[in-house]
Amino acid sequence: MGCTGAGILPQGPVIGAVAGTAKLTTSIRPPERPFLSVSWSFNEANIITSTSKNVTDAGYADRIFLDRATASLELRDLRLEDSGDYTVSIMPDGGLRQEGKITLNVYALISGASISSPSAVLIEDKSSTNLTCEASGNISTTVWIKDGRPLRPSERVVFSANNKTVFLQPVHNSHHGTFQCRVSNPVSSLTVAHNLIVNFGPHNVSIVGPSPISPGPGVALQCIAASVPPANFSWTFNGNDTHVNSSLYVIEQLEVDNFGNYTCTARNTVTMMENSTFLNLRASCTAPCCSFSMLLVGALTLSLK
């Protein structure tokens, strides 16, 4: 006897999680007269045959439910070994036998995700390191994220074939911060974070302060630098040490003799690097007091000579 049945099961695959439930649902409407028989097989081995009674394979006892009216099958307490091809065979009361096949993929839930990295002091352009993402369960995809954005391969960033490990060769100041690894499969996903410390700098040293400025009330000069760890600062005025060792240089009362070159030097005690910048603090002149101020500055300069 011939058979039909194309389309009685979806194309699939059906996805299930370990310890969960999967439904292999047919598109058949309940017939007016019950099917003469319904049978399901797994990888060509029969698991249940239903005629006037149900005969179930011992390995599926209490784990399957057959909807006799539609021939749909429900599998419970799923196991990884339940992954495979399922075939249904239906003999209607009159008409041709119907058959359909569908694949079930069972995945273990992902758990215990973590990122490991060698313990070492990292210095920009001098050190290299790697980050490895590990987790339990069936991992389909691994995605790396840096500071909330997808991490892309580059001359310094290289991924292993399965994306499990990312190599930073050598580290850059942009690598300082939070790395995330997101591992996922069709039934679960986990994201784990790792804070990577890259010592760098000082870079981009600058002095923030008003110039030109009129003599009078005090003024503060702020030295800033991009540095990990934070930089130490020192100041000189016209080449002379001021004994000020903080990022803030405060002039309580701005006098004519306070005008000149203020140099800030930033030092990093880990990278052993230092960088300097200067600000020429000069007077803002408006006649007639400007003329008097400039004459005074000139007189002071002559007297110093």
Residue 32 falls within a domain, yes or no?
A: yes
| 101 and 27, same domain (yes or no) | yes
Domain that holds residue 192: 111-196
| 8 and 97, same domain (yes or no) | yes
pLDDT tens digit sequence for 232-288: 999 999 999 999 999 999 999 999 999 999 999 999 999 999 999 999 999 886 534
| 59 and 143, same domain (yes or no) | no
CB atoms near residue 21 (< 10 Å): 13
Domain boundary (196, 220, 246) is at 196
Residue 303 falls within a domain, yes or no?
A: no
| 17 and 44, same domain (yes or no) | yes
C-beta of residue 8 within 8 angstroms of C-beta of residue 95: no
> What mean pLDDT comes out for the span 11-23?
95
Spatial separation of the C-alpha atoms in residues 282 and 211, rounded to whole Å: 6
Please state, rounded to an integer, the average pLDDT across all residues of the chain: 90
How many residues does this entry show for the chain? Answer: 305
The answer on pLDDT for 106 being more than 60 is yes
Domain boundary (66, 90, 107) is at 107
| 153 and 241, same domain (yes or no) | no
In this prediction, residue 217 carries a pLDDT of: 83
- State the DSSP code for 58: G
pLDDT tens digit sequence for 20-62: 999 999 999 999 999 999 999 999 899 999 998 999 999 998 9
**Quick one: how far is CA 300 from the chain centroid?**
61
| 225 and 277, same domain (yes or no) | yes
| 215 and 233, same domain (yes or no) | yes
Residue 44 falls within a domain, yes or no?
A: yes
* Positive or negative torsion for Cα 247, 279, 265, 239: negative
| 98 and 80, same domain (yes or no) | yes
Q: What is the side-by-side order of every strand in the sheet holding 72-75?
A: 22-24, 72-75, 64-67
| 188 and 164, same domain (yes or no) | yes
Query: What are 270-278's contacts with CB under 8 Å, separation 24+?
Result: 270/121, 270/123, 270/199, 270/229, 271/123, 271/124, 271/199, 271/200, 271/201, 273/201, 273/202, 274/202, 275/201, 275/202, 275/203, 275/205, 275/225, 276/205, 277/205, 277/206, 277/207, 277/223, 278/207
Specify the CATH number for the domain of residue 264. 2.60.40.10
Residue 42: strand pairing partners: 45, 86
Spatial separation of the C-alpha atoms in residues 125 and 136, rounded to whole Å: 34
In this prediction, residue 300 carries a pLDDT of: 32
Grade residue 215 by pLDDT with cuts at 50, 70 and 90.
confident
Spatial separation of the C-alpha atoms in residues 28 and 26, rounded to whole Å: 5
Lowest mean per-residue pLDDT among 41-50, 110-119, 223-232, 288-297: 288-297
* Positive or negative torsion for Cα 53, 57, 58, 60: negative
Residue 301 falls within a domain, yes or no?
A: no
| 115 and 188, same domain (yes or no) | yes
| 103 and 123, same domain (yes or no) | no
Residue 120 falls within a domain, yes or no?
A: yes
Domain boundary (75, 107, 139) is at 107
Peptide bond between residue 217 and the one before it cis (omega within 30 degrees of 0): no
Query: Over pLDDT 70: what percentage of the chain?
Result: 91
Grade residue 173 by pLDDT with cuts at 50, 70 and 90.
very high
| Integer CA distances (angstroms), 23 to 39, 55, 77, 87, 280, in order | 15, 19, 12, 13, 78
Angle formed at CA 50 by CA 48 and CA 52, multiple of 5 degrees: 150
Number of domains comprising the chain: 3
Residue 172 falls within a domain, yes or no?
A: yes
| 102 and 11, same domain (yes or no) | yes
**What single string gives the DSSP state of each residue in 170-228?**
S--GGG-EEEEEEEEETTEEEEEEEEEPEEEEEEEEEEE--SSB-SEEEEEEEEEEEEE
